[in-house]
Amino acid sequence: MMTESANDIDPRDHVAIDAFLEGAWARDGLADLTLADYRGDLERCARWLARHANGLLGASRADLFAYLAARNRSGIGARTNARELTALRRFYAEQARHNPACENPTLLLDAPKLPRTLPKALAEREVESLLNAPDVATPIGLRDRAMLELMYACGLRVSELVTLPLAGLNLRQGVLRVTGKGGKDRLVPIGETCLDWLTRYLSEARPALAKGRDTPALFLSNRAAGMTRQMAWTLVKKHALAAGIAAKRISPHVLRHSFATHLLNHGADLRALQMLLGHSNLSTTQIYTLVAREGLKRLHSQHHPRA
C-alpha cells in the first residue's frame, strides 16, 4: 500500500508552501497549531493537484473546485472544506502579492455554507459531578482535579492548558498568565476554590510527579514531562464517564463553553467575557448570548404553566 509523502508534491509547490508559512509566521504571528493546519491543508491539496492537474502553483479555479468537490464526495464536512479554502485563499493571495501576473484562482470560489451550531455547555450540576470525579487521594487524581478546576475557572483552551508554565501561575495575586492564539498574553483571575486545589496540587502531587526534575510545565504526566493535548482529552473523557456524562457530550472545549455560558447566566459583561476568553473580536464572544438565551427558553418551557 502506497503512503502519501512529501515526494508526491511538485518541488516548486513545496518551496512555495514553505515560503508562505514562514511569511505568515513572521508577518501575522500565527500560532504553531494554525501553521501546522495550513501546511496539512496545502500539502493535501498539492498532492491531489499533482495527480489530477498541474500542481498547486498551476491550478485553475476549475481545478480547485474539482478538488473541493472530491473532498466533499469523500465525506469531508463543510466546516473542514471551509477551513481548507481559507488556507488556499491566503496562499494564493500571497502568491499574487509577490507576483502581480499571478492570477488568484480562489477569488470566485464560494465557501460552503455552514450550519449555525451553538457551543455545547454542561449544566452547572454536571460540571460539579465532573470536578468531583478524580480520586484526589492519589497524585494523579489530585493533578486531574486541579486541571479540571483550572479549565473551568479560567475558560482555557486545551492548547493553553497543556502549555501553561509553572511561572505563569501567581497564587499570591490569584491570577494566571495565559498565552493564547497568535502568542497573545492575557491575565485571568482564578477563583478561591480553584486556588485551593492548585495549592494542594503544587504541595502534595507535583513534587511526586516531577521526580526531582526541573520541568517548567505546570501540569506533569507520570513521566515528569508536560501534558499533551491528547492526554488532556483522554483524562476529561475518562472523568466524564465516571461522572455519568455521555462521552459524546464532553471535551476540554466543552468546559470552556460552560465557563462562558455560566458567567453570562450569572450576569457577566460581554466585553469582560471577551477579555477572559482571549477573543480578538467581540462577535466571536456574542455566540454565547445565544447559548444563554436558549437555556432560558428551555427553563421557561419546562416550568412556566402557560409555556
Active-site residue flag, 181: yes
Catalytic residue among 71, 83, 177, 181: 181
One-character DSSP codes across 159-174: HHHHT-BGGGEETTTT
Active-site residue flag, 213: no
Distance CA 232, CA 33 (A): 16
3-class DSSP assignment, residue 186: strand
Catalytic residue among 47, 145, 262, 279: 279
Distance CA 307, CA 305 (A): 6
Where helices occur in the chain by DSSP H, the ranges are 11-28, 32-52, 61-73, 78-98, 124-131, 139-154, 158-162, 192-200, 206-210, 229-242, 252-265, 270-277, 282-303
Catalytic residue among 47, 90, 143, 256: 256
Name which of 123, 148, 122, 121 is nearest 134 in CA terms.
148
Name which of 189, 187, 186, 195 is nearest 149 in CA terms.
195
Catalytic residue among 157, 206, 257, 262: 157
In order of 16, 44, 89, 228, the CA distances from 57 in angstroms are 8, 14, 13, 36
Catalytic residue among 38, 152, 201, 288: 288
Strand partners, 220: 226
Catalytic residue among 71, 89, 237, 253: 253
Active-site residue flag, 256: yes
Active-site residue flag, 157: yes
Active-site residue flag, 253: yes
Query: Quick one: DSSP state of residue 202?
Result: I
Q: What are phi and psi of 189, to 5 degrees?
A: -70, 150
| Amino acid residing at 129 | S
Strand partners, 187: 177
Positions marked active-site: 157, 181, 253, 256, 279, 288
